[in-house]
Amino acid sequence: MSLYLGLDSSTQSLSAIVLEVDGEQRRVAFESSIAFDETFPQYGTRHGVLPSDDPTFAASPPLLWVDALEVMMRRLQSSGLDLRQLAAISGSAQQHGSVYLNDRATNALGSFDPSRALAEQVKPLLSRDVSPIWMDSSTSAECAEIERAVGGDRPLAERTGSRAFERFTAAQIRKFSKSEPSTYASTDRIHLVSSFLASLLIGRHAPLDPGDGSGMNLMDLASCQWWQPVVDSTAPDLAAKLPPIARASTPVGTLSRYWQSRFGLPAATVVTWSGDNPCSLVGVGLVREGALAISLGTSDTVFGLMREPRVDRSGTGHVFGAPTGDFMGLTCFKNGSLARERIRDKFHLSWSEFGEILHRTPPGNGGRIMLPWFEPEITPTVLTPGARRYGLDPGDADGNVRAVIEAQQMAMALHSRWMNVKVDRIHATGGAAANRDILQVMSDVFGAVVYQLQVGNSAALGAALQAFYGARTADGDRITWEDTVKGFVEPLADSTLSPDPARRAIYHDLIELYAACEAHALGKGPEPSDRLAAFAVGS
Ligand code: ADP
Ligand code: XUL
């Protein structure tokens, strides 16, 4: 019997899943989650993010993630599991966020004192005490500069899988190097959240994996190595500050002495960490092409596996590496769960009341549309926050509940067209995938069967599966990814939601009107009020 630990350091929480594998017997033996704001109020975060007057700015304190890692290991220690059987650990982390370490880190990582808390020992190793995260959209100037330096958005996308995006690490590093040149110069190593936490586990600088590396605008997708021209034009001496890139799902070290002495853990193999979306891909069982997954977490993301990288020519989405060594297409929306919560809280609803409203209100919302850009939006790029409403009274509770959910689902359907996947099956994950009324709208908008999965936290599960696959293949087992995920990624019994043909027909038309509203709000099209009014009469 062996245990495999998967950690997921997301925007709002740290989660852990332990898998127990005994031949064909497989089960989730432990699941736990630590909410950042409630557990560590001393950091002053809200939803895991430091407050800021500038709506385009988003950063988090990296020491919060370190504290959470330690608390989680303590929980594991007292879980009753036989941790001597812990064979391997891997992790998932929010993508794009970066952690800046000085030159003392290289020596210090391997010699932490097991009698002292980790965060206080990591603090002197930070050259920058905050980490810009994926919610940041303050780097449009740097995006333009990077694209210009490499000949435009197309060459950058062809090479790295994405045009320049504000939250991607290249633009964030460039902004930091311009605004704080001496602090940048004192930075010896720039990690992603994933490789930073992996480094703490193994006691030396860990490499990145291609899944998370491709969220930086710096990695050549074809070779999975740094693309020198963009690295050189992003910031001075950047090449020397970046970790190497390892193959996906491969061992990068063993658990260091610190964790062994402090928590009685064995010298377990540590496998490359990755981003939360790549981990979710395998955590929902998408190890072959042909289906899509939708994660309704802090961000909403729609993604699917790709054998060959097919870059989005419209510049909307991304191609990332996948834990299987393949690729994945992904489109990301910033106004996900927090937009849903904003409407829920404005009308003082519980999630079950929110669901009841969805259940009893008519699909199509009588042609009332919301563009739910409460915060600056990633897809499409919207830098000035504020929801836009068409024929929708901001005080109408029923109308706003339906509008926010329909808008999010229609935006996902519209902006995933570039992936060119015939969607007849969607694997739903993320916190809001617990809400079947939301999933019914998903099913009707996409015209696809939607599955709820047995394990809700697909990112932590994917990380644990990555640990399992990485350790077993390193031991010479010829295990496939199908074998790896078997028994862990099956849909919940009786969970299937099927599209209703009449509702599907309504969304087939409404989605074009939604696209027209988007175009209008972006200053790229006429006001579609007449079309919306005609839709309302017809529906
Ligand atoms: P993260 O991206 O940080 O991993 P999660 O996937 O854990 O986030 O999702 C957290 C979100 O799930 C919360 O912000 C909350 O809005 C949402 N959520 C939890 N339960 C429900 C529910 N029943 N209906 C809708 N949303 C829910
Ligand atoms: C993906 C993205 C988000 C974060 C959330 O590109 O920015 O989904 O990974 O954790």
Residue 539 banded pLDDT, cuts 50, 70, 90: low
Q: What are the C-alpha distances in Å from 64 to residues 32, 59, 336, 343? A: 17, 12, 23, 29
Q: How far is the CA of 363 from the centre of ligand 1 (A)?
A: 23
- Whether residue 493 is predicted with pLDDT greater than 90 in this model: the reply is no
Q: What are the C-alpha distances in Å from 463 to residues 143, 253, 377, 520? A: 31, 16, 28, 41
The reply to whether ligand 1 has any atom less than 6 angstroms from the CB of 30 is no
Atom of ligand 1 nearest to the CA of 298: 2
Question: Phi and psi at residue 19, in whole multiples of 5°?
Answer: -100, 140
Pocket test for ligand 2, best of 300, 301, 319, 416 (most atoms within 8 A of CB): 301
Query: Cα 390–393–398 angle (5° rounding)?
Result: 105
Tokens 């630590």 belong to: 34
**Over residues 189-211, mean pLDDT:** 98
**pLDDT, tens digit, 9 for 90 and up, residues 250-280:** 999 999 999 999 999 999 999 999 999 999 9
Residue 529 banded pLDDT, cuts 50, 70, 90: confident
Name the closest-CA residue to atom 7, ligand 2: 134
Q: What's the confidence (pLDDT) of residue 23? A: 87
**Over residues 434-459, mean pLDDT:** 96
What pairing do the DSSP bridges indicate for beta strands 425-429 and 449-452? Answer: parallel
Mean pLDDT in the chain?
97
What pairing do the DSSP bridges indicate for beta strands 251-254 and 225-226? Answer: unpaired
Q: What's the confidence (pLDDT) of residue 215? A: 98
Atom of ligand 2 nearest to the CA of 167: 7
Cα 168 to chain centroid distance, Å, stands at 12
- Whether residue 400 is predicted with pLDDT greater than 70 in this model: the reply is yes
Atom of ligand 1 nearest to the CA of 341: 16
- Whether residue 83 is predicted with pLDDT greater than 70 in this model: the reply is yes
The residues, any chain, with a CB within 8 Å of residue 119's CB and separated by 6 or more, are 63, 66, 67, 70
Tokens 């836009």 belong to: 388
Question: Could you write out the DSSP letters of every residue in 232-283?
Answer: HHHSTTHHHHSPPBPPTT-EEEE--HHHHHHH-----EEE--EEHHHHHHHH
- What tokens does 59 get? 């950063």
The reply to whether ligand 1 has any atom less than 6 angstroms from the CB of 48 is no
Ligand nearest to the CA of 332: 2
Q: What's the confidence (pLDDT) of residue 536? A: 85
**Over residues 416-422, mean pLDDT:** 92
Q: What's the confidence (pLDDT) of residue 136? A: 98
For residue 467, the surrounding DSSP H or E stretch is helix 458-474
Handedness of CA 464, 324, 491, 13 (dihedral sign): positive
Name the closest-CA residue to atom 14, ligand 1: 337
Q: How far is the CA of 299 from the centre of ligand 2 (A)?
A: 6
Question: Phi and psi at residue 171, in whole multiples of 5°?
Answer: -65, -35
**Over residues 299-309, mean pLDDT:** 96
Name the closest-CA residue to atom 23, ligand 1: 435
Question: Phi and psi at residue 501, in whole multiples of 5°?
Answer: -55, -40
Q: What's the confidence (pLDDT) of residue 533? A: 87
Pocket test for ligand 2, best of 299, 302, 333 (most atoms within 8 A of CB): 299
**pLDDT, tens digit, 9 for 90 and up, residues 218-253:** 999 999 999 999 999 999 999 999 999 999 999 999
Ligand 2 pocket (Cβ < 6 Å) reads 10-11, 94-96, 134, 167, 215, 275-277, 299, 301, 332
Name the closest-CA residue to atom 5, ligand 2: 94
**Over residues 492-504, mean pLDDT:** 94
Ligand nearest to the CA of 436: 1
**Over residues 414-425, mean pLDDT:** 92
The reply to whether ligand 1 has any atom less than 6 angstroms from the CB of 17 is no
